[in-house]
Chains A and B, each alone.
Chain A
Amino acid sequence: MEGRAVIARATKTVVPRRPRARRSLYLQYLVEPFAYLSPAIVLIGTVILIPLIIGISYSFQSIELLRPFDSGWVGFENYAALWSDRKFWIALENTFFWTFWSVSLQFLLGLGLALLLNTQFFGKRLFQALVFLPWAVPTFLSALTWAWLFNPVIGPLPHWLADLGILSEPYNILGDPELAIWGPIMANIWFGVPFFAITLLAALQSIPGELYEAAEIDGASAWQTFSKITLPFLAPMIAITVMLRTIWIANFADLIFVMTGGGPANSTQILSTYIFTTAFRKLDFGYASTIAVALLLILLIYSLIVLWLRKKLIKI
């Protein structure tokens, strides 16, 4: 009897009231989220998207400061000119060469340094501070320093290279069209190794120590431990840092601009220096934007491939 009374009471309290006026689904799900996001959207729009769109729009215009009355929309004229521009193709090839060797050597040396810094040895702290130093030096300064190092009159490098038999005589490799690109690449390696060392060291230190102990008990040799435990763990960090550095280095004009200015005979001209000289020496902003868009597309495709690979291969 008492049970029934309880049920009766319960029923009474749950009698549904009239629903409150509901906001329309449209407002709730389509508009409201964007209202909350609007500060971020406005910021990203003004800082990134609008300049990007303006930049791309320049590539379809003729904007030459030296011919101010000729400016206006030209359609794909700039792109047609780019296609038949021999200098562009040379710069593109140089960009691949410069980026590939800079990134891979920076990565390998950085990984080596990170592995070394992940062990214990005397004077590690001092060594660590020294390793990270180049990253803090202004690029302009390091470019000048390296240019002088390669100068046979005041720098030691050509003499050392000659003594080692790499050069037939101590001349300035920055003046040799065959070898000039290696000057900035060496400066770039010196400058960029710390970045890889820092990031990979951080990733190394995040690997749980027990995994190495478990592998040791499982009988893994040093190489097996490295290839089967360390590398898979580093892979996400490697993918992201290599991608970032590739983009930066492909866009990195400072070292080349200061050390060789793109010469001799365009042998060190990469796309970003070509963009820079086109825009600020020839003052042809339309054509410079066209080259920039081409570089943007190449890097975009590259990034998509790296991200796809990362998703495909990395399980952690």
Chain B
Amino acid sequence: MARIQLNDVKKSYGDVNVLRDINLDIQDGEFIVLVGPSGCGKSTLLRMIAGLEPISGGDFMIDGERMNDVRPRDRDIAMVFQSYALYPHMDVARNMGFSMEIRGDAAEERKSKVAAAAETLGLSKLTNRLPKALSGGQRQRVAMGRAIIRDPRAFLFDEPLSNLDAALRVEMRLEIARLHQKLGATMIYVTHDQVEALTLADRIVVLEGGDIQQVGSPLELYERPANKFVAQFIGSPTMNVVPVEGGAGGITLAGSKLTLPHLGDTSAAVELGIRPEHIDVVAPDQGMLKAVADVVEHLGSDTNIYARVEGIGPMMVRVHGNIPARSGDLLGLNIQPLNAHIFAADGTALRRADAIAA
């Protein structure tokens, strides 16, 4: 149970600034996901919160107390490592109860707490096994058990699911979500997988190149990305971004005008972003854009069309349900104006009028 605040937190190795002026206010019980491409500094930030990396500047506070120079053991934070970091010479029960063993808690108390945690995680039958005799998913559970047992102020997860196979990843994702609901503890979770970020987070922090690009709820990031990077990073399949000509009353795209009333003045527009699912497919002569379907993927629930658009180039379109399109077909495409995003020359998104009003 903790409120975690980062005020202008910095990290540099010599002259290299890895993180610049990170400001975050994490509420008690919030599930925060740090997401970004590899090398963006998200793991470094997590390790700074854990106390495994020194903080180069700024203030890091837990419940209003400055924690910059407090040792990890005194921060009362639990961490689940990407490689699990289980002690290979200790059985499951001892691994989970190690923090209590260190504190010198009574053996019976330790036993009952370990048993309770093992019960929660479905590990009861495995408590006297060594980590090497466990599967990846079970090891993951033990690592979580080790964190739970300490009843810490906050949980940190460093890409905990990246070593699991796809099916297990979905299962453990649910498990973590359930754990958060049950414990109601503050959790900070690092991942490069946007699906994990979108499904787990109360708020997502998108990091890139050592800067926070945007902080917001999953839907906020999806609907109102602050810039081109966030727009393309969040959402799958990736958003289409195509060059346009700006104008006060609307934009010009491949020779045709498009008015975007919700964006107000669009004279600064340089690029238009539109998600594949926000393009409608119509008869070839009716659409605003003419396109040829290059490849069509029928996924059952959706149809993905990789189209070559006249005057623009490749674009991806996703249509809900099955449509009888085949590769080589001529298509008409209509962009849903309300779902279009406009980016200025520096990549920032023009703010929506309704967002400004709100």
Contact = CB atoms under 8 A, between A and B. Distances in A.
Interface of A: 208, 210-211, 213-221, 224, 228-229, 232-233, 314-316
B98 A218 contact: yes
Contact of B102 (A208, A210, A219): A219
B103 A213 contact: no
Contacts of A208: 83, 85
A233 B71 CA distance: 25
A315 B87 contact: no
14 contacts: A213-B79, A215-B98, A217-B52, A217-B72, A217-B77, A217-B78, A219-B73, A220-B73, A228-B87, A229-B87, A232-B89, A315-B89, A315-B130, A316-B88
B81 interface: yes
B124 interface: no
Interface in B78-95: 78-79, 81, 83, 85, 87-89
Contact of B83 (A210, A224, A315): A210
B204 interface: no
B300 to A, nearest CB: 29
* Residue from B50, B73, B78 with most neighbouring chain A CB atoms (10 Å): B73
A217 B130 contact: no
A233 B83 CA distance: 18
Interface string B232-257: 00000000000000000000000000
Interface in B142-156: 146, 150
A216 B89 contact: no
Nearest to A235: B89
B146 A218 contact: yes
Contacts of A213: 50, 52, 72, 79, 81, 85
B99 interface: yes
A216 B79 CA distance: 10
A11 to B, nearest CB: 39
B81 A210 contact: yes
Contacts of B98: 215, 218, 220, 228
Interface residues of B, number: 22
B140 to A, nearest CB: 14
A228 B87 CA distance: 9
Shortest 10 CB-CB distances between A and B: which pairs?
A210-B85, A219-B73, A214-B85, A218-B99, A232-B89, A315-B89, A216-B72, A217-B72, A219-B102, A220-B102
Given A216-B71, A228-B102, A233-B89, 18 more contacts: A208-B85, A210-B81, A210-B85, A211-B85, A213-B50, A213-B52, A213-B81, A215-B87, A215-B98, A217-B50, A217-B72, A218-B146, A219-B103, A220-B102, A228-B98, A229-B87, A315-B88, A316-B88
* Residue from B51, B77, B87, B99 with most neighbouring chain A CB atoms (10 Å): B87
A224 B101 CA distance: 10
A219 B103 CA distance: 8
B324 to A, nearest CB: 31
Contacts of A316: 88-89
Contacts of B146: 214, 218
Interface in B92-130: 98-99, 102-103, 130
* Residue from B50, B77, B99, B150 with most neighbouring chain A CB atoms (10 Å): B99
A208 B83 CA distance: 10
A216 B89 CA distance: 17
Given A210-B81, A213-B81, A315-B130, A219 B87 contact: no
Given A216-B72, A219-B99, A219-B102, A211 B87 contact: yes
B176 to A, nearest CB: 18
A214 to B, nearest CB: 4
A217 B73 contact: yes
A315 B81 CA distance: 23
A210 B73 CA distance: 15
A220 B74 CA distance: 10
B108 to A, nearest CB: 20
A216 B99 contact: no
A218 B88 contact: no
A313 to B, nearest CB: 10
Nearest to A224: B102
Contacts of B99: 218-219
B81 to A, nearest CB: 5
Contacts of A210: 81, 83, 85
A218 B102 contact: yes
Given A220-B73, A232-B89, A233-B89, A214 B81 contact: yes
